[in-house]
Structures are given as C-alpha cells and as structure tokens.
C-alpha cells in the first residue's frame, strides 16, 4: 500500500496543533509541546496508526470488493477478514468492530457457506 499525507491534511495538522499549543499556554500550562504530522508518512513514527480500507465492504459489487459477510464479490470462496473492509478510518481503535465483523463472517461461513457454497448475497 502506498500512502502519504496530502498537503491539505498537513496544513490542517499544523493549524490544529498550533491552536492546541495556544490553548495550552492560555490555560497556564507549565510546558506545552506541539509537533504536527509531517510528510512523508512512515509507520516507524506512527506505530499506533490503524490503517484501514483497500477491500471495502458494501452492498454493490460495482462500488465495493466484499459483501457484508466479507466475501469477495468476484470469487465466492474468498473471504477477506480484516480492517481493509472499512470504507473509512474511525476515530478510535478499530479492533472491537473488527472482532464483531470477524464473528459475523465466520458465522456465515460456517453456518451458510459450507452448507451451500456460493454467493451469500445476491446482487
């Protein structure tokens, strides 16, 4: 996956960071530090970043890669379990939602797909 921050994201990060520092100083903080994100993106700095997307889940094979059971629209015996199914990156750790989606997909795989292999969602 290739990713980097667009200029607008970098400008927003600089603005919000500066405002945060300004607020901290106005509140009388003894020490205020602010370091906005910079390019290029690197996982060595942002170890807590939760990258998502890439095999987006949806209701239409023309606009998504997997269906609601994380089953590939194109290849019915391929299930893609992971945060790659998210169409966006939520503002919190995606693990809880991923656990629920995994349970949902495994339940469908075990109780529906294995009994009758093929698409679990008709188009």
58 in Cβ contact with 87 (< 8 Å): yes
Residue 94 or residue 90, greater confidence: 94
What confidence tens digit (pLDDT) does each residue in 56-86 have?
999 999 999 999 999 999 999 999 998 899 8
67 in Cβ contact with 73 (< 8 Å): yes
What confidence tens digit (pLDDT) does each residue in 9-25 have?
999 999 999 999 999 99
- Alpha carbon distance 75, 101 (integer Å): 19
CA atoms in the 13 A half-sphere facing the CB of 103: 6
Model pTM score: 0.62
Residue 47, pLDDT above cutoff 60: no
pLDDT at position 16: 95
> Which residues does the annotation mark as catalytic?
50
């Amino acid at each position: 996956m290739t990713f980097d921050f667009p200029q607008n994201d970098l400008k927003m990060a600089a603005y919000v960071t500066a405002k945060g520092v300004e607020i901290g100083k106005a509140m009388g903080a003894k020490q205020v530090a602010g370091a906005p994100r910079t390019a290029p993106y690197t996982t060595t700095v942002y170890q807590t970043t939760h990258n998502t997307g890439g095999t987006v889940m949806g209701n239409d094979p023309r606009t998504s890669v997997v269906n609601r059971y994380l089953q590939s629209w194109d290849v019915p015996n391929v299930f893609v379990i992971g945060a790659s199914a998210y169409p966006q990156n939520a503002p919190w750790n995606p693990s809880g939602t991923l656990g629920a989606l995994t349970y949902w997909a495994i339940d469908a795989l075990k109780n529906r797909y294995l009994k009758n292999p093929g698409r679990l969602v008709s188009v």
